[in-house]
Amino acid sequence: MKADVIVLGAGIVGVSTALHLQSLGRSVVLVDRGPPGGGTSYGNAGLIERSSVVPYAFPRSLTTVLRYALNRSSDVRYHARDLLHVAPFLFRYWRQSSPRNLQIATRAMLPLIEASITEHDALIETSGAGDLVRADGWIAAFKSPHRLAAAVAEAAGLASYGLRRVVLNPTTFAELEPTVRTGAGGFCGAIHWLDPKTVADPGELTRRYARLFERRGGKLLVGDAASLAEASPGWSVTTEGGPVTAPDAVVALGPQSGSIFRRLGYKIPLGIKRGYHRHYTLPAGVSLNHAIVDEEAGYVLAPMRQGIRLTTGIEFAHADRPVDARQLEHAERLARQLLPLGEPVEATPWLGRRPCLPDMRPVIGAACRHKGLWFNFGHAHHGLTVGPASGRLLAELVTGRAPFVDPAPYRSDRFR
């Protein structure tokens, strides 16, 4: 089989890339070893996070770092035996999180964040996925008045970005979420961010986008990305339907992208932040209407089609280490103090891997040493949010169109 472009990876980034290439007139084969949306794209908190204009930086506060060092936090956990393995990435991440570098990262990511809603809206409408998406924002909740006041002040500092928000006291919070505990022992207030959208099934959203790609004539094949090889001309990959060749190939494999670029000689410092989720039923009379982030404990409670999804913060460990449920269990104990969760839906937690670069922005663009090879990975916590926007940018670069944003901050050769 021949095509114009092979896209490796059927997560939200790969599927979005394939759709945009298709809309620009390219014939595309989308290759993955499993069904669309079955990896990292399945397991997130379901936020199309228009309000996260400042990337998630490594903490610069000594108090916070020391708290994490004790390894008793629910938002960050590490495996001591893997510290040497993750230390080089963490050191680079810490350096890139200086105030100056964080400003650079913020400016770099802003165009993709700003385009996140409009790019998703176009695909949501044409794929018939409106039943999965709500436009009522999410809630950042606090137990400490001091932390709430600091967050309100920080939010005021983002006024130039034009983000809509409402500060909630216990009474107005309870009007939105009557069965979430407020007051003594509960949340003292919150910030309701209004611009983001929430997705009730991120994996299904990706599958709807993939079905749109197929309806438009795209080919979705099961194959092994590790078989990618240079052909004459272009690239080839082995699939269950036979070999596929194309002049261009896109690596959009999320956390597995390193298996390709390292073999081809690229030294890109891709790191992995692991995370967990589990779904829970709700007892009769208990409800959750919005995604709520416990900002002090670092977990998210989000209403999903499968139940209430509890997602953890970050676990630093070797990507292939088996599931360690302690972080999720810690978050569950805290969450049950605020919302009476029922029984877990799954027998075991789901483990996912976020692909991260230390400078807090993805790699989007040409591979500098191989003609026809393109990269689109490393979206960290915002793969769902900016997947369609980064897919549009990559498609414009592949087809020689004028890119809608400056691609320079995402170049693959920016690392030294």
- Report which of 330, 323, 327, 319 is spatially closest to residue 348, judged by C-alpha positions: 323
Here the tokens at position 315 are 């676990």
Instruction: Please give the residue range of the domain that contains residue 372.
Output: 1-57+97-131+198-270+357-416
> pLDDT digits over 262-312, tens only?
999 999 999 999 999 999 999 999 999 999 999 999 999 999 999 999 999
Residue 227 counted as domain residue:
yes
> pLDDT digits over 361-382, tens only?
999 999 999 999 999 999 999 9
Residue 410 counted as domain residue:
yes
Quote the pLDDT of residue 72: 80
- For residue 115, the domain's CATH number is 3.50.50.60
> pLDDT digits over 184-210, tens only?
999 999 999 999 999 999 999 999 999
Quote the pLDDT of residue 60: 87
> pLDDT digits over 200-242, tens only?
999 999 999 999 999 999 999 999 999 999 998 899 999 999 9
List Cα–Cα distances, 384 to 37, 71, 373, 389, 404, in angstroms. 10, 28, 23, 10, 19
Residue 283 counted as domain residue:
no
User: Is the predicted pLDDT of residue 326 greater than 80, yes or no?
Assistant: yes
Residue 157 counted as domain residue:
no
Quote the pLDDT of residue 65: 86
Q: What percent of the chain has pLDDT over 70?
A: 100
Residue 333 counted as domain residue:
no
Could you give the number of structural domains in the chain? 1
Band of residue 138 on the pLDDT scale cut at 50, 70, 90? very high
Residue 277 counted as domain residue:
no
User: Is the predicted pLDDT of residue 112 greater than 80, yes or no?
Assistant: yes
Residue 86 counted as domain residue:
no
Residue 137 counted as domain residue:
no
Tell me the Ramachandran region of residue 352: left when phi exceeds 0, alpha when psi lies from -120 to 50, beta otherwise. Answer: beta
Partners of 7 in the β-ladder: 30, 250
CB 357 within 8 A of CB 269: yes
Chain centre to alpha carbon of residue 102: 19
- 59 secondary structure, DSSP code: P
